[in-house]
């Protein structure tokens, strides 16, 4: 009978759905529960904005890394959390999103330290994007949790991929997935050797020009935000009030990005940003025309540094012995400069001399950036004209 067939199909669908939900919950690909049916070392997170809010509540790390895609990619942990270190950085992070991550992180009684890569562009008045999905996850709203972790085909697929890696065993995982966090000096040296060529150093002028045009939005009509600074100040105070060690650093920028900031008229804003940070708390500054900035081999793209130098920076920030593999590796360790309220003016004067030395001569950086800035201004003018026409 048709009604019986429909009823059978309904129960079969319900059984399949229940089985899929149960399997996804058991596999736990995003760390949303404390289920350890599969060792978390086999977890490989593709969407950090999805997994990070859940792992913040279940992983209970001792060390948390904060920041934007620079930290997320440059100090990458494939599982997000490994060996008590969690990379809670998210792509395109706003200060308000980082503040909410901190609020959840401070609920963890095992938390000992936060390492925060503070981005200059995040202090612009225009950098305040909404992400309702992230908001729901970081607030741990039940409907979002159910949809993300139980009723999602993506979650089921990621869980099955995790199970396949577990069946193949640890020996089949890549060296970077098996590595501790932070990487050992030996691991960093091996990565330097295997990743010597490929990235910004291999990019063509046309590709670099395209990348420069893509980052123009970071500094488009940049204005330093007093409100963002106050939020940063409150967040720092909250961390310190919980007696959690706070290590601040400004991530390295390639010479292309630094030159873009200079030629687009925002160098004084960059210095204002560093002075404002120093007035709140000491930090390590890597964003200058230092030896690392002009070493294209250290960067994946114009705005992202590679993992080997990123892991070496992390070891340095944590006070661990650095990887002295060769001159390049030592260059990374020497690129950070300590800045506090007492020495900020003196250090910025030194960094200005580095800038003048680098930009005082014709170079591939100045030529490619000059064209990118010119194009960005044309785009801004066209956008402003279009907005005026819509009024």
CA dist 193 and 199 (Å) reads: 14
Q: Secondary structure of 259-294 in the HEC alphabet?
A: HHHHHCCCHHHHHHHHHHHHHHCCEEECCCCCCCCC
Residue pLDDT, tens place only, 298-338 = 999 999 999 999 999 999 999 999 887 878 788 998 899 99
E strand or H helix that includes residue 101: helix 95-105
CA 325 to chain centre: 26
pLDDT at 362: 66
| Annotated domain spans of the chain | 44-150+171-390
Q: Give me the chain's average pLDDT, please.
A: 90
DSSP state of 155: H
What is 44-150+171-390's CATH number? 3.40.50.1110
pLDDT at 388: 45
pLDDT at 386: 46
Residue 267: CB atoms within 10 A of its CB come to: 17
pLDDT at 378: 73
Helical axes 307-317 vs 327-335, angle rounded to 10°: 50
pLDDT at 9: 61
pLDDT at 25: 83
CA dist 140 and 143 (Å) reads: 9
Q: Tokens representing 162?
A: 């995790």
Would you give per-residue pLDDT tens digits along the chain (391 residues)? 566 666 556 555 555 555 656 778 888 999 998 888 899 999 999 999 999 999 999 999 999 999 999 999 999 999 999 999 999 999 999 999 999 999 999 999 999 999 999 999 999 999 998 899 999 999 999 999 989 988 888 998 999 999 999 999 999 999 999 998 999 999 999 988 887 777 899 999 999 999 999 999 999 899 999 999 999 999 999 999 999 999 999 999 999 999 999 999 999 999 999 999 999 999 999 999 999 999 999 999 999 999 999 999 999 999 999 887 878 788 998 899 999 999 999 999 999 999 999 887 767 899 999 999 988 877 766 555 444 445 4
pTM: 0.93
Assess contact for 318 and 284: CB atoms under 8 A: no
Q: Can you point out the beta strands (E) in the chain?
A: 63-66, 81-82, 85-87, 113-117, 245-250, 283-285, 337-339
pLDDT at 154: 92
3-class state of residue 44 by DSSP:
coil
């Amino acid at each position: 009978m048709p009604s019986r067939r429909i009823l059978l199909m309904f129960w079969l669908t319900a059984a399949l759905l229940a089985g899929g939900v149960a399997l996804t919950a058991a596999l736990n690909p995003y760390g949303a529960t404390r289920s350890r049916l599969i060792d978390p070392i086999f977890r490989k997170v593709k969407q950090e904005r999805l997994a990070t809010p859940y792992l913040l509540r279940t992983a209970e790390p001792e060390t948390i890394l904060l920041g934007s895609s620079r930290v997320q990619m440059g100090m990458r942990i494939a599982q997000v959390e490994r060996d008590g270190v969690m990379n809670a950085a998210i792509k395109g992070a706003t200060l308000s999103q980082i503040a909410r991550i901190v609020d959840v992180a401070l609920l963890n009684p095992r938390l000992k330290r936060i390492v925060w890569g503070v981005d200059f562009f995040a202090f612009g008045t225009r950098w305040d994007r909404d992400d309702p999905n992230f908001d729901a996850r970081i607030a741990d709203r039940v409907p979002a949790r159910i949809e993300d972790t139980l009723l999602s085909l993506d979650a089921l697929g990621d869980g099955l991929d995790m199970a396949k890696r577990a069946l193949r065993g640890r020996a089949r995982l890549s060296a970077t997935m098996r590595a501790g966090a932070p990487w050992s000096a030996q691991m960093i040296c091996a990565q330097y050797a295997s990743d010597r060529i490929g990235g910004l150093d291999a990019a063509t002028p046309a590709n670099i020009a395209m990348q420069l045009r893509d980052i123009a939005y970071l500094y488009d009509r940049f204005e330093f935000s007093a409100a963002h600074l106050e939020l940063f100040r409150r967040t720092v105070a909250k961390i310190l009030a919980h007696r959690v060690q706070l290590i601040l650093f400004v991530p390295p920028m390639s010479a292309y990005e630094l030159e873009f900031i200079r030629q687009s008229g925002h160098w004084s804003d960059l210095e204002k940003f560093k002075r404002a940070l120093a007035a709140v708390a000491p930090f390590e500054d890597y964003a200058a025309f230092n030896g690392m900035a002009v070493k294209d081999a250290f960067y994946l793209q114009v705005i992202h540094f590679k993992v080997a130098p990123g892991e070496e920076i992390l070891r340095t920030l944590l006070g661990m012995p650095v990887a002295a593999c060769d001159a390049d590796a030592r260059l990374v360790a020497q690129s950070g400069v300590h800045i506090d309220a007492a020495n900020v003016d003196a250090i910025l004067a030194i960094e200005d001399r580095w800038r003048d030395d680098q930009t005082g001569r014709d170079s591939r950086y100045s030529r490619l950036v000059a064209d990118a800035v010119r194009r960005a201004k044309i785009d801004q003018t066209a956008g402003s004209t279009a907005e005026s026409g819509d009024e």
